Each structure stands twice: as C-alpha cells, then as structure tokens.
Amino acid sequence: MAQIDYPAILDEAWQQHLAPRADNAPTVISTFAGCGGSSLGYSMAGFRELLAVEWNDNAVATFKLNFPDVPVYHGDIAKLSVDECLQLAGIEPRQLDMLDGSPPCQGFSTAGKRQLDDPRNQLAMEFVRLLRGLQPKAFIMENVSGLVKGKMKLVFAEIMRELKASGYKVKCRLMNVMYFQVPQSRQRLIWVGMREDLGIEPGHPGGQGKPITVRQALSGIEQLDGPSPKQGTKLHQCCREMKQGTTAAEFYGRNWGFNLYRLAWDKPSPTFTKRGGACGLIHPVLPRKCIRQEYQAVMSYPRQVIFVGTEEDARERIGNSVPPLFMRAIAQHVMTILTNG
C-alpha cells in the first residue's frame, strides 16, 4: 500500500493558493468568512476573492494576515447593503461567479440546544438577502448536520424555500469531509445553487479517496511535550489514562467531558468544537490536549497559515471554520459544472 505524505499534500495545496491568478479567474465573495478556511479552499481552486465579510475581531486579524490582498468588510452582515457590497467588490449585479457562506451554526448544532427561535438561525436569511441582490452565477452554502435532524428540519425547509425563491436551482447534500483529503470525520450540509437562467443543474463532487489517518496527518509535526493539565483534575487523569479512540464520557462512565476524545493513530480525527476545558482532542500518546499545529493539520490547514492570538484563539478559529481541502474540492467541482454548462 502506497504511503500518503500528508505534509506534501498540504504544501502542494499551499502552492496552488500562492499561484498567480489569470485575469479571467473565477470570482468569489465569502460571507461569514471567519479566519479564511473557505477562502483558502477557493484560492487553492484558482478563484480570485473580491470581498470577505466577517465581524469577529480575531478572525479578521487572522484573515488579513493570510489574505493581505482581499478586501474585508469588518462588521455585522445585517448592516452591509447590497450596494455597498457591490461597490467594495467592484462589480455589478450578475457579474459574480460565486457567493459563499457559512452562517454561524450554533443555533442548529447538535452540540447545543438547537432552539428554533435562536437569533443566529436568522443569519442564513442575510445570506439570502445578498444572494438576491448580487445574483451570482452560483452559490455554495455550508452548515452543520443538525439542521436536518428533529425540529430543525423546519428551519432547513424554510432556508431551502428561500434559496429556490431567489431564482436558483438548488441541491443540498450531507457530506463527510474525510473523503476529501481532510483527516477528520466531520459531516456538513452543503447547498449548491445555479442561477435558473443558466439552465445548469447543480451538483456535488464524489469522494476523492480513502480517509487519511491521524498518524498520516501529524507526520512531520514534532511531538512536543507541551503543557500538562493541572494534577488531580479529571482532565489530567484523562490525558494520562484514556485509551486511544475513546471519549471522556466512556472513560468515566457518565456524561462528563462532552466532546473530549483521545485521538487514535490509525483513524481520522473526530469532529471537534471550538470549546476548551473538557472539550477537544487529546494527543494519541502524549499526556496533553492537542496543540495548534495538530488541530491545524487535522483540519487540512497548511503549516504556513498563521493564526493571531493565543492557542485558545487559534483553536476557536480552526474549530469554527470549513476545512480548506474540503472547500477546494467543492469549488473545483461547481466551477467545472459552470464552465462546461
């Protein structure tokens, strides 16, 4: 069996990001851009980003450091008018190739209470508002799997109706990022829409191979000892005694340590959240939680990407983002559909 050199895969993807853009390169505007996970994926796919929209200060600082040539609207998307968006991007309606968006998912996530009236659920409607004003050829919208579970199906149906009513043919699919060179099992809903007048059916890419393991993902990253949790705490005991591939809840026999998991060398990482404390990933063999470089690797961020602030800031940015290699695959596929008609 051929060995997978995952650092080489990420380095090659980084070179795709750095490659000069042709004058006729496809264009994208990214809403809810975060630190730039989706943006990096689009750039790796050959897109030229005209504008990023984000309100979080640390995310904007990180984005600007890694994408110095991309204009950023740093503020509340609800206050960004269509006219200002067009002006900042330097385009007219119907000229944009792709509108991208990952509305904050806490209101939908299975990690939370999933409240129908959570105000964060309404941020998807801000994406719809800009979609109707910009009228791009296509759009991609991403969210969590919890949106098609239980009572959240009502919200999903409403979003679907609004997207179709905006003049787009729309398809939505639940996809796992681990089939797209991301060493993590992470299910996400992906909407793809094509403007109706183009007469093109939307579609999603097929998988690109077998899942990549934690061992492959962390190869080339020095196994630093790092800070150990405070002695005598449950977290300290978990980091020292939990077996690979188990959760803290399993270790203690009760629901403690939600989403705290010890990585297994020969499996992909599970989904992890932005939260710290009794959440996150424990190194497969070292008695500590994972560090930034390791979180970065299992989310398919090349080592060259720089994060601003503390380790906690970096984990939050990474945990909140879309894996770049996942978005690269989707963007490439949708652009191929658009090009070939």
Catalytically active residues are 105
Residue 90 to residue 87: CA distance in whole angstroms: 5
Residue 39 to residue 50: CA distance in whole angstroms: 10
Instruction: Give the C-alpha distances (Å, rounded to integers) separating 218 from 213, 243, 280.
Output: 9, 18, 16
Residue type, 99: L
Structure tokens that stand for 71 in this block = 């204009």
CA geometry: angle 257, 260, 265, nearest 5 deg: 150
Instruction: Give the C-alpha distances (Å, rounded to integers) separating 303 from 40, 176, 208.
Output: 13, 23, 22
Q: Answer whether 194's CB lies under 8 Å from 171's CB.
A: no
Residue 112 to residue 188: CA distance in whole angstroms: 16
Q: Answer whether 90's CB lies under 8 Å from 129's CB.
A: no
Residue type, 53: V
CA geometry: angle 91, 94, 100, nearest 5 deg: 80
If you compute the radius of gyration of the chain from its CA atoms, what whole number of angstroms results? 20
